Structure 1
Amino acid sequence: MSYSVGQVSGFAGITVRTLHHYDTAGLLTPSERSPAGYRLYSDADLARLQQILFYRELGFSLDEIGTILEDPDANALDQLRARHRRLSEQIGKLQRMMEVAERAMAVQETGVRLTPQERFEVFGEIAFDLSYATEAQLKWQDSEGHRRSMASAAAHTKEDWARIMAEAAAWREGLLKVFDGREPADGEAAMDLAEEHRAHIGRWFTPCPPEMHRRIGDDFARDPRAFALVVPPSQQRPGLAAYLRTAIEANAVRHDAATEGHPRNSHEDSDHRRGVVR
Structure 2
Amino acid sequence: MFSDSAEKLKHVLQVKSEIMRAAREYLRSRGFVEILPVILSRVTDPLHHETYDGTVDYYGRPYTLTKSMILHKQIALRTAPRIFAFSPNVQMEPEERAPLRRYLAEFVQLDLEVRGASRDEVIEIGEGLFVAVMRSVRENCAAELAALGRELPVPETPFGRITYQEAVARFGEDYDDPLSSSLSAPAWLIDFPRAVREFYDREDPARPGVLLDMDLIYPEGYGEALSGGEREHTLPHILRRLKQDGIPPERFSAYLRFVEEGLPASAGFGIGIERLTRYVCNLGHIKEARLFPKVPGVADAL
**What is the TM-score normalised by the length of structure 1?**
0.24
User: Which structure has the larger Rg over C-alpha atoms?
Assistant: 1
- Of Structure 1 and Structure 2, the greater strand share is in 2
**What is the TM-score normalised by the length of structure 2?**
0.23
